[in-house]
Structure 1
Amino acid sequence: MIDRLYTQMQAMQVLNRSQEMTADNLSNINTPGFKGTKVFYRMFQENVNGKTISKSVPMQQVNLEQGVLEPTGNEFDMGINGDGFFVVEENGEQFLTRDGRFHLNPDGYLVNSSGAKVMGDSGPVQLAEYMQSNGETGGNAMLEVSKDGTIRLNNKAQDRLRIVNVEDPAMLNRKGSAYFSVIDEDMLSEDSTGMVMQGYYEKGNVQPLTEMVDMMRNMQAFESQQRALKTTDEMLSQVTTRLGRF
């Protein structure tokens, strides 16, 4: 009966973790470039007091399905159609992201909404000439980003956005709502097949209806385990009381 209590408590912990992941997905529906988390369960066996007990542990994997590319008309907005991630640098660390809402900071560096510098083949992308051209001519410099990430200013190549791919998505570690990292950079490859779309940004790929259905199922399963746990506890209490009479 103790084993039954342990199993029921374990199931409730698994369902609670699953619910947390679902809630996180729903809270980031409107986060550009957000990639939802898929939940799956892996069975392990462990020895408890000489008995082998199967244990179900919730695991998470990033859902890399393509999000909708929303046109903005902003020449600094970038979306990736297909595989791949932009690389940004913040506080000395490099992260992967699908959020391509960029702009120029006062120093002419291409940055995201958090101020992280967007990386190119030659390091942080700097377009000081863009600002200088606008200041000198009083007009608009022509900025063009081709599908392979090459940045041209007035038809002159300046740099190329660094787009990387992750060989094994299971190795992605989420860092906040927009960033990812990998333990080993050897997992990254430069042969991404994704195409850069200038003037677009990628919406999150969370499906609200699917997440709401998952949330309801988790709640129902959790309540079912609660009732089962209460029943087991009452039975254990009765057995203990009866044994105490002898």
Structure 2
Amino acid sequence: MDNALMIGLSRQLTLRREMEITANNIANANTPGFHVESLLMRNEAAETASSQDGPRDLQYVDAWGMGRDFREGSLDFTGRTLDVALEGDGFFQIEGRDGEALYTRDGRFRLDSEGRLTVADGAPVLDDLGAPILIDAAQGEVMITEDGALVQNNAEVARLAVYRFEDRSLLEKSGNGRYAAGEAQADIAADAVIRQGYVEASNVQPILELTRMIETMRAYESVSRFLSQGEELSRKAIERLGRA
């Protein structure tokens, strides 16, 4: 395959992936606790196609990972008793479908029919001992303190688990704004502050993402023109050789 074509195709593949990530960011601009993502790329050297002259290696574009901006989004007041938001580094712990611990900053909690504190899709929220939190609604309104204690009738009935990770790059995305710890070590986030009646907004900046999308589209079109011109040059060269 022609060297120019190989380079152009490698760039198109990364641009398509970048477009998908940008579109996902825009789609989640209003998703509480969502962290903006970006594609991490690098140059990768490879040998050229067979040639008599020219450079002996080329630099291709390779997508090697996903970057996430874990900076806090703004805190939006909702006034709902079971809405909570985190100030500082940390994640709430919930139980996944297979019983594994997952981590999220989306604090839109609610009570299910059994009195368990859950997230929107019914996954249980875990306490500081790793057990589901049970609340008797008949005992009155729940107050949630800044350190995560759930209080009813002046008595603590449970305490939210809030964890932090020294190396957040090891977290594995599991969908719905949640992460599995993977090889990352979870520690108690002692300095995190919990705000009752608030939710953390996404940290996506839509204008920046739309600008990035336009730039990506233009870059893709530019590479497409480059490939078309390269194919045209090759066609003309073959025609001339055929007439020689």
Tell whether the 8 Å contact from 2:89 to 2:189 is kept in structure 1 after alignment: no
Alignment RMSD (CA, Å):
1.9
Matched, 1:57 2:56: no
Distance 1:165 1:70 in 2: 22
Moved over 4 A (4+): 47-51
1:231 deviates by: 0.4
* 1:169-213 residue CA offsets vs partner (Å, 9 max, x unmatched): 2222222232112322x4222235321111111111110100010
Paired residue type of 1:103: R
Matched, 1:150 2:157: no
Distance 1:6 1:153 in 2: 65
**Structure 2 CA distance for partners of 1:65 and 1:173, relative to 1, 3 Å:** same
Tell whether the 8 Å contact from 1:88 to 1:116 is kept in structure 2 after alignment: yes
Tell whether the 8 Å contact from 1:84 to 1:165 is kept in structure 2 after alignment: yes
Question: Which secondary structure does the structure 2 equivalent of 1:99 belong to?
Answer: coil
Where does structure 1 lack aligned partners over 5 or more consecutive residues? 134-140
1:114 deviates by: 0.5
Tell whether the 8 Å contact from 2:36 to 2:68 is kept in structure 1 after alignment: yes
Equivalent in 80, 88, 94 of residue 88 of structure 1: 94
Tell whether the 8 Å contact from 2:78 to 2:199 is kept in structure 1 after alignment: yes
Tell whether the 8 Å contact from 2:106 to 2:200 is kept in structure 1 after alignment: yes
Equivalent residue runs for 1:93-112 within 5 Å = 93-112=100-119
* 1:24-61 residue CA offsets vs partner (Å, 9 max, x unmatched): 00011111111110233222334566854323223321
* 1:115-140 residue CA offsets vs partner (Å, 9 max, x unmatched): 00001112334333x3242xxxxxxx
119-128 or 163-172, which moves further after superposition? 119-128
1:107 deviates by: 1.3
* 1:1-37 residue CA offsets vs partner (Å, 9 max, x unmatched): 8111111111111111111100000011111111110
Q: Corresponding residue for 2:36?
A: 36
Where does structure 2 lack aligned partners over 5 or more consecutive residues? 51-55
1:89 deviates by: 0.6
Tell whether the 8 Å contact from 2:127 to 2:133 is kept in structure 1 after alignment: no
Q: Corresponding residue for 2:22?
A: 22
Tell whether the 8 Å contact from 2:7 to 2:61 is kept in structure 1 after alignment: no
TM-score normalised according to structure 2 size: 0.89
Paired residue type of 2:61: S
**Structure 2 CA distance for partners of 1:192 and 1:229, relative to 1, 3 Å:** farther
210-219 or 118-127, which moves further after superposition? 118-127
Tell whether the 8 Å contact from 2:3 to 2:49 is kept in structure 1 after alignment: no
Paired residue type of 1:124: A
Distance 1:231 1:192 in 2: 60
Q: Corresponding residue for 2:53?
A: none
Paired residue type of 2:174: K
Tell whether the 8 Å contact from 1:109 to 1:124 is kept in structure 2 after alignment: no
Q: Corresponding residue for 1:126?
A: 133
Paired residue type of 1:102: F
Equivalent in 196, 199, 210 of residue 197 of structure 2: 199
Equivalent residue runs for 1:231-246 within 5 Å = 231-246=229-244
Paired residue type of 1:71: F
* 1:78-108 residue CA offsets vs partner (Å, 9 max, x unmatched): 1111211111112122211111000111211
Paired residue type of 1:169: R
Sequence identity (%)? 31
Q: Corresponding residue for 2:10?
A: 10
220-229 or 144-153, which moves further after superposition? 144-153
